Structure 1
Amino acid sequence: MSGLTAKIVPEKSVRLLDQVKYEHLVAGTAAGVTSTLVLHPMDVVKIRLAVHDGIHNTPKYSGIWNAITTIYRTEGFRGLYQGVTPNVWGAGASWGLYFLFYNAIKASVQGGNLDTPLAPSQHLLAASEGGLITLLIVNPIWVAKTRLCLQFEQNNKQYTGTLDCLKKIYITEGIRGYYKGILPGIFGVSHGAIQFMVYEELKNRYQKYYNLPISKKLGTLEYLTFSATSKIIAVLSTYPYQVVRARLQNQHYAYEGALDCIKKTWIHESWRGFYKGMGTNLLRVTPATMITFVTYENMSHLLLKYKKEIQ
C-alpha cells in the first residue's frame, strides 16, 4: 500500500515557493493576451447575448451574425472592441497567474519531479486552488470588462476607459462593487479545474501510450486537439454560471443576488436562459483556448529550456 502511494504522491517534502517559476507567468500572460486580441469581438457578442433576459430593455439580436453586423453598423469597429483593454489585462493576468499557481501547486505535489504522474483528483484540486487565488486577484478587472462591453450607443456612456470604470465603481459601490458576480465566479473555478484535469489526463494517457516522459514537449497538433476537447467538455459542464455572473455584473439593472438571478432566469426563460450565448461562447473560447495552450506550451518549454542551458 505504501509503495502504491509513493508512486502517486511523492514522499519528498517540497516547499511550494520553491516551485514558483516566472516562466509559467510570462508564457501564460503572452498566451492570454494573444488569444484575446484575436477573438475579443466574439466575447462582446457573447456577453450581450447572455444579459438579454426578456425583462429589461437591452438590445436583442437574432443570432451571432446579426449581433456582429448590428454592432458594427451602429457602433462601428470600436463597438466590437468595447472593453478590449480590461479584457487584455484580465486575460493576460488570469492566464499568467493561473499557469503560475497551478504549476507551482502541481510541482509541489509531485515532489519537484515533473515526470511523476498524478491522479485526476490531484489535477482537479491543484487547478481549483490556482483558479480560486487567481479569481480573487483579477475579478475587479472582469467586472470592468463586462461593464465596458455593455455600453450601448443609445445609452449615455458611463465610463471612458478601464481606469475610469474601476474608479467610478469604487466611488459609487465601494470594494464590494469589484466583487459583483464573485459567487458564480467561485463556482466557475470548477470550469478551469475540469478543463485542466481533462487536458492533463489526455496528455498523460497519450504520453503513456507512446511511452514518453510526462514532461516531454508534444507537437502542435496534440496540444490543439487536447485543449479543444478539454474546453468543450468544461463549457458544456459549467456554462450557466457565466450567464449568471454576466447578469450580476451588468450595470443597467440589478438582481438581489445570485439566487434571485437564477430564480428570475428560470421563471422567464426556463433552462434555455442559462445557455444564452453558449454557441457564441464555444465559437470564441474553443479557438481561444487552442491559441492559448499552444502559445503557452511552446513558450514555457522554450523559456525553461533556455533557463536550464544558462544555469
Structure 2
Amino acid sequence: MAPPAQDGEVSVAATMLGSAVAGILARVACHPLDVAKANLQVAGQTAYRNSYHVLQSNFQKEGVRGLYRGFGVILLGSAPATCLYLTSYDQSKKWLEAYPLFKSNLFLTSFSAGIMAEALSCVFWVPIDVIKERMQVQSRAGGGVFYKNTVDAWQTIARTEGLRGLYRGYGATMWSFGPFSAFFFLFYEKNKALAEAFHGTTDNVPFTSLLAW
C-alpha cells in the first residue's frame, strides 16, 4: 500500500486517477486525427488529398465508426498506459531525488525520469499501437478486413506472430519517444519552477500547469 501523501503533495491514487481520466479524454478528442494520420501514412496521397479528405471519406462510408476505427483497444489500454506513464514519471522522480546527485540537478532528474516513464509505459503502449494502427488502416467498406475487433486482432497477432508481433517497434518507439519524454518533462519542470518563482509560491498557482504544459 502506498504511503499517504504529505502536505502539499498529490497522492499516488490521485495521480493515477487523474492520469487515467486525462488519457481517455485526450484520446476521445484526438483519435479521428490519428486515424487520418495512419491512413495517409499507408495509402499516401494517391488515395487521399489530405487529413480532411481521409476523415470525410471514412465518415461517408462508415459514419462516426469510421472516425473511431481502432478506438476499442485505445479505450481499454489508454487509461492504464497513461496512468503508468505519468505515475511512473512522478514516482521515478521521487526515487531519483533520494540520491544527492539527482536531488541537486533538476535537468538530470527530469531527463532520467522521463526516459524511465517512457520505457515502462511502452509495455502497454506498443501492443496498443500495433493493434490500433492495423485496425485503422484495414478497410471495412472496401474489403481487406483482417480483424473482426480488438480481441480478435490481439488473439490473431499473438497466435501468428507471438510476443514479438505485439511488441514490434518497441525499440524504434523508445528511440523516438524516449528523448521526447525526457525533454518534455525537463521543460515542464523548468517552466513550472519559473511560474512558481514568478508567483512566489508553490501552492494555488493555477497558471503554472497551463504555462508549463
Q: Report the TM-score range of the alignment, normalised by the length of the smaller protein.
A: 0.7 to 0.9
Give the one of 79, 94, 104 matched to 1:107: 94
Give the one of 161, 185, 192 matched to 2:181: 192
- Cα pair 2:110 2:186 within 8 Å, conserved: yes
What corresponds to 1:42 in structure 2?
A: 33
| Shift >3 Å, 4+ stretches | 17-20
Q: For 1:53 and 1:108, how far apart are their aligned partners in 2?
A: 45
Give the one of 94, 97, 116 matched to 2:81: 94
Q: CA deviation at 1:124?
A: 0.9
What corresponds to 1:140 in structure 2?
A: 127
SS in 1 for 2:69: coil
- Cα pair 2:21 2:79 within 8 Å, conserved: yes
Q: For 1:37 and 1:137, how far apart are their aligned partners in 2?
A: 18
One-letter identity of the residue aligned with 1:109: L
- Cα pair 2:35 2:67 within 8 Å, conserved: yes
Q: CA deviation at 1:118?
A: 4.8
Give the one of 156, 160, 174 matched to 1:172: 160
What corresponds to 2:16 in structure 1?
A: 25
For residues 249-260 of structure 1, what are the structure 2 equivalents within 5 Å?
A: none
Q: CA deviation at 1:117?
A: 7.1
- Cα pair 1:94 1:138 within 8 Å, conserved: yes
- Cα pair 1:93 1:138 within 8 Å, conserved: no
One-letter identity of the residue aligned with 2:15: H
User: Identity of aligned pairs, percent?
Assistant: 23
One-letter identity of the residue aligned with 1:93: P
- Cα pair 1:36 1:87 within 8 Å, conserved: yes
For residues 110-121 of structure 1, what are the structure 2 equivalents within 5 Å?
A: 110-111=97-98, 118-121=105-108
Pair 1:79 & 2:84 matched: no
SS in 2 for 1:174: helix
Structure 1: runs of 5+ lacking an equivalent: 1-16, 228-311
Q: For 2:39 and 2:69, how far apart are their aligned partners in 1?
A: 11
Identify which range, 86-95 or 161-170, moves more after superposition: 86-95
One-letter identity of the residue aligned with 1:159: Y
Q: For 2:152 and 2:132, how far apart are their aligned partners in 1?
A: 12
TM-score, normalised with respect to structure 1: 0.59
Q: For 1:204 and 1:28, how far apart are their aligned partners in 2?
A: 21
The alpha-carbon distance between structure 1 residues 131 and 157, as it changes in their structure 2 partners (threshold 3 A), is same
The alpha-carbon distance between structure 1 residues 118 and 176, as it changes in their structure 2 partners (threshold 3 A), is same
Q: For 2:189 and 2:134, how far apart are their aligned partners in 1?
A: 34
Q: CA deviation at 1:199?
A: 1.4
Structure 2: runs of 5+ lacking an equivalent: 6-10
Q: CA deviation at 1:178?
A: 0.4
The alpha-carbon distance between structure 1 residues 156 and 126, as it changes in their structure 2 partners (threshold 3 A), is same
One-letter identity of the residue aligned with 1:72: F
The alpha-carbon distance between structure 1 residues 60 and 117, as it changes in their structure 2 partners (threshold 3 A), is farther
Pair 1:226 & 2:206 matched: no
One-letter identity of the residue aligned with 2:164: R
Please report the RMSD computed on the Cα atoms of aligned residues, expressed in angstroms: 2.4
Q: CA deviation at 1:51?
A: 2.7
